[in-house]
Amino acid sequence: MKHVLDFDRAILTFVTGIACVAAAAGCAGHGASPKPSPSPALSVTVAKARRGDLAERVALTGIVNAKAQANLQSVITGQVVEVDALVGDRVNQGEVLVRIDDSTVRAQLQQNIGSLNAARAHLMQVQTGDVGAASSATANLDSAQVAYQTALSNYNRNKQLLAQGYVSQSAVDQAAQAAAAAQAQLRGAQVAAQNANLGGRTTSSAQAEIHNAQAAVDEAQGAVELAQAQLAQTVIRAPFDGVLTQRSVDPGTLAAPGTPLVQVSELDPVYINVNIPEENLPYIHRGTAVAVNVGSLPGRVWHASVDEVNSATTSGTLSYLARIVVPNPGFSLKAGMVADASFVKSQRKDVVIVPRAAVFEGEGGDQVYILAKDPGCACDGIAKTVKVHVGLQTDVDAEVQGTGVAAGTIVIVQRPDTLKEGSTVSISSANGQATSSSQALP
């Protein structure tokens, strides 16, 4: 019985307690207004405005080309006996790359040299005989001229003596006959000398033989030079400093005229050919600086300049081919690579720069949200709109002018659509890096 009374007494105490708690709650809510809870801070991404140089660029794609490329082929028939380089080897100008069997060419050269020597000997023999005939003709002509002058002088003297009565008429007639005979001999000597081409006006049979012999010498000399040229063509040398980029034969291959042997490419510097659209032509000309990067070689930038811009459009397009010269001492750039070329279109120096995403168009024009501190708020700050004038822009940055934004000003980059003037914000990241409230930008 006692246990039952104790249990009833406990139940009564529990119910009474609940009633008192309910009454207390009712009294507390009666006649008092609840305090409104604060709006939650909006999560944003921020960045610092900075001062620096900003450039608008034109980005174009081109192909890397060797400065020079030679596809060396055989010009004679013969077996390849030696290949002295592998693909990728650096070669120097004049270095031997391929040798072709030259035994047949050497034999032909020796035969041609023998023919040349024989032709020269025959020419000398003919020239010696013709000189002898010419010398004899000259001597006969000189003798005939002397005899004629002597006979003529004797005739003229006898005529004078006849007039004075010192000689008879018969003596004069004999002198005249002697002069006539000497004159006939002189004419014969002159004809003989003329036939020997002493005057250079006719071609005697001896001269014709000399000409034929000289022609035979010239022909034999040409055959020798041809064989010497063919002998030189059995050795294929590098035409310039470069890299062996292709090898098409091995020792034992039978080469014939037109057979590809090796390819040599000059890769320092290299050329990058890009097509310039007409609207970008005013910004790109000879000497324009260009930054080059290649997707297969990340993290590297080559600084170069434009060498030439074609004066005519590329066939079938409205663009102009530009050639960029890029130093390539390590041969890291290979012919055929796809390269991105970046040209400066316009540039601004020492300006205030913010991320382009921070700029938006409001009712009064271009604006940005900046982060303002509020000591009474347990947040990272509040959003405040500032009007700006936007200058040069790139894909990621923008130049801004205005009294509310300076180097070091914290601007809100990514923001929710509900953000407005005076909104409390919480920084989720700064310059792309996650951060907490205690790590917010100052």
Is residue 242 scored above 60 in pLDDT?
Answer: yes
Residue that has been written with the tokens 């246990």 in this structure = 3
pLDDT per position as a tens digit, 55-80: 888 889 999 999 899 999 999 899 99
Q: What is the pLDDT of residues 344-362, one digit of tens each?
A: 888 899 999 999 999 999 8
Please provide the CATH number assigned to the domain covering 73-100+234-262: 2.40.50.100
Alpha-carbon distance 342 to 362, whole Å?
Answer: 33
Whole-number Å distance between alpha carbons of 324 and 61: 12
Please report, as a single letter, which amino acid is at residue 161: L
- Per CATH, which fold does 266-349 belong to? Elongation Factor Tu (Ef-tu); domain 3 (2.40.30)
Decide yes or no: CATH 2.40.30.10 for domain 44-51+351-439: no
Cα separation, 101 vs 124, whole angstroms? 37
In the chain, % helix, strand, coil (3-state, to 5) comes to 35, 35, 30
286 token code pair? 């000879």
* Lowest-pLDDT range of 6-10, 223-227, 417-421: 6-10
Residues of each domain in the chain carrying CATH 2.40.30.170: 266-349
Q: Which of 57-71, 159-173, 241-255, 289-303 has the lowest mean pLDDT?
A: 159-173
Q: What is the mean pLDDT of the chain?
A: 81
The architecture (CATH level 2) of 105-231 comes to Orthogonal Bundle (1.10)
User: Where along the chain do the CATH 2.40.50.100 domains lie?
Assistant: 73-100+234-262
Better pLDDT: 297 or 39: 297
Tokens 């609207």, residue located? 279
> Which of 77, 119, 81 is CA-nearest to residue 97?
81
Count CB neighbours of 290 within 10 A: 24
Q: State both tokens at 328.
A: 């390539």
CATH 2.40.420.20 positions along the chain are: 44-51+351-439
Of 270, 253, 246, 252, give the one whose Cα is nearest residue 72.
246
Above 60 in pLDDT, residue 200?
Answer: no
CA distance 118 to 220: 9
- Is it the case that residue 429 has pLDDT exceeding 90? no
Decide: 55 and 360 in contact? Cβ < 8 Å.
Answer: no
Does residue 34 carry a pLDDT above 70? Answer: no
Q: Considering the chain, tell me which residue range(s) the CATH 1.10.287.620 domain(s) occupy.
A: 105-231
Using CA atoms, how far apart are residues 17 and 10, in angstroms rounded to an integer? 11
The two tokens of residue 276 are 């310039």
* DSSP conformational letter for 358: G
Whole-model pTM? 0.54
Q: Is residue 7 predicted with pLDDT exceeding 80?
A: no
> Using one digit for the tens of pLDDT, what is the confidence trace for 115-157?
888 888 888 877 776 555 555 667 677 777 888 888 888 888 8
Are the C-beta atoms of 268 and 240 separated by less than 8 Å?
Answer: no
Cα–Cα distance measured from residue 334 to residue 88, given in angstroms and rounded to the nearest whole number? 11
Q: H helices then E strands: how many in the chain?
A: 4, 21
For the four alpha carbons of 94, 95, 99 and 102, in that order, the dihedral sign comes to positive
The token duo for 376 is 């009474």
The predicted structure's pLDDT at residue 16: 41
